[in-house]
A and B are shown apart, each in its own frame.
Chain A
Amino acid sequence: MSKVGIIGIGHGVFGRRSDATVQELAFEAFRTAMDDAGIERKDLDASVIGSVPEYHKQRSLAGVINEYLGLIPKPAWLTEVACASGSAAIRTAWMAIKAGVHDIIAVIGCQKMTELETPEILALMGRVGEVQWESIYGTTFPGYYSLFARRHMHEFGTTHEQLLKVAIKNHYYGAKNKYAFFQKEITMEKALASDMVAAPLQVFDCCVNADGAACVILANEDRAKEICKKPVVWLEGMGCATASMSVLRRPNLYSIPSAVEAGAQAYEMAGVGPGDIKVAEVHDCFTIAEIMAYEDLGFCKKGDGGRFIEDRQTYIGGKIPVNVDGGLKAKGHPIGTTGVSMTVEICKQLRGEAGERQVPNADIGLTHNVGGIGQYTFVHILKRED
C-alpha cells in the first residue's frame, strides 16, 4: 500500500500574538509550508484543521481558515481531541490519503489562546475534568497532573527536583529556538522559587498557553517522490488510543495508559522499537508528563524516568534526545497546534535542518501528543527517506 510522506513544513512564532487573528496565524505557517514543498494551492486536494474550538471567539474555524487561505471550494474540516487535536488532524489526513480519497492535504494546527479574558479562562479551567463527579471539587489541569506526580513519587521515589530538571532542559533548548515563547534558560533556584500552582507542581512545572500555528503538507508516495526536492519524511507508524476521562476509572495513576497503547501500535506498524528512535517530541504539558512519557514509550523502565533526566539521557548526546525544540514548556502550548508543531520539529531533525539543536544522525523520530489528561494519545513514528 502507498506510503504517506511529509513534503512541506511551516512553523509560526509562538507567544502572545496580539498582532494577529487565528486565520492570520494559520496563513503564516501555511505559506511557509507551501513554499517549502514548492507547490501551489491548486495542487492541494483538501485541508484539515487541528484546533480546540472553545478558545476562539470565531465559531466553526475550518471555514474561516479555508477562506482566508484561499482554498475554497476544496474540502476542509476540523478535528478536536483537546491538546492532541493537531495529531488527530495529521492522522485524519493520513487516513484520507491511505484510502485513496485525496492525494495531497494541508494539515494546519492553529490556536489563539489569549483571545479569552481571564474569567473565561478560569471557567474553562474548571471543566477540564469529568464534570459530573470531579469538577465539582474544583479540579484543574495542573491538579490532575499533580495527582499523577504525587503517586509517581510514592511508587518510585521520584523527586520534585527531578521533575524540574525536565523544565530546565526544555528551557535550555527553548533558548535556542527562535519560534519559542520563552527563549531563556532557567535555574533550579528560580524554578523552586516559583509560585505553587497545585502542590507539588509549581509554575515552572507547567507549560504556558500560547498563540501560534504550524503546518505540514502530506502527500501519497508517488506525488511525494515527484514533488519533493528535500528528503521526504514518511509517516511509518501511526498509533492512536484512548483512556478513561475520569481518573477514578484508570488502571493506575502513574502512567498514561493510552500512551502505552498508542506507542505499542506505532512501534509495531513502523517495525522499530524504542531503541531505534533517535529524537523524540513528547507532550510535556507538565514536567511529570514528560517523565511518564519516557516510561510509557519505553525509553527507560517504568519508574526510572526521574533518574533518566537526572542522568541527562534526554539531552543531545544522551540515550534519546527529547524536546530539543523547548517542548511545550518553553516553546509554548497552543493546544490544537502542538501535535503539528512536534511533527515540524521532527521533520527538521530528520532533514538535518535543526541548526544548533540538530541531533546527529537522526533518521527515525517520534511524536507523542496527549489530549486532556490522557483521554487520547497519538504516537507517530517518522522516517527519513534514504
Chain B
Amino acid sequence: MFKWFGKVNFSPFTKVADFAQHLKEGHIMGSRCKTCGATSFPPRADCSECMSGDFEFFEISGKAKLHTYTKIVAAPTGFQDLAPYIVGVADLEETGRILAWIGETIKEDEIKIGMDVQVVPQIFDELEEIKVYYSLEKPGTSWTKM
C-alpha cells in the first residue's frame, strides 16, 4: 500500500511497497541484497551493485546526522497549507541518506548541520485517509501509535 506514503504520493506502485506497511507499524526499513549483501536507503528492489532482484527489508535504527537543510516558503501543489516547512537531509547511521521534514521537537534556531537527529515514523492524523511519513526529530524521540 505504497499510496499511504507521503501527504501527496506520486508513485503508488513499487516493488518495495511493503515499506509503507512497515512504516505504519513504526518500523523504518532499508533494503539488503540477498545475493551480495549490499544495503540501501531508500530501499530498492534491484541491487545497484550486482543487479540482483532478490532483496529483503531490514530495520534501521533511525539514528542520523543532519547533512543540510532548507526552509521552503514557496510551496508546490499539495503543500501550500504546510508552508513554510523545513526539509532536512540526514546521513543515516547504518546506510544511505534520508530526506524528510524537520519535526516539531527541534526548534528552528537549534538546527545545525552535523547535529544528531532521530528518524521517527509519523501518521498524518488530520487526514481522513491513511497517510504515513517520517520526520527528523530530537534524539530519543520515539514513535507512538496515534
Contact = CB atoms under 8 A, between A and B. Distances in A.
For this complex, into which size category does the number of interface residues on chain A fall? 35 or more
A253 B87 CA distance: 14
Contacts, number: 114
Interface string A129-161: 001111111111011001110110010000000
A195 B72 CA distance: 12
Tell which of B14, B76, B85 has the most Cβ of chain A within 10 Å. B76
B42 A122 contact: no
Given A132-B42, A136-B133, A248-B42, A143 B70 contact: yes
Nearest to B86: A199
Interface in B87-138: 87, 89, 96-101, 113-114, 133
A248 B76 contact: no
A160 to B, nearest CB: 13
Contacts of B140: none
A331 B130 CA distance: 46
Given A123-B76, A248-B99, A253-B67, A147 B89 contact: yes
A52 B7 CA distance: 27
Contacts of A151: 67-68, 113
A126 interface: yes
B22 to A, nearest CB: 15
A227 interface: no
Please provide the 6 A-B residue pairs with the shortest distance between their CB atoms, ordered closest to farther: A136-B6, A126-B76, A138-B79, A146-B70, A131-B10, A199-B71
Given A126-B77, A126-B79, A247-B89, 20 more contacts: A123-B77, A131-B11, A132-B14, A132-B42, A135-B8, A136-B7, A137-B6, A138-B7, A138-B87, A139-B72, A139-B87, A140-B72, A140-B75, A151-B113, A154-B114, A196-B71, A198-B73, A198-B74, A201-B70, A249-B96
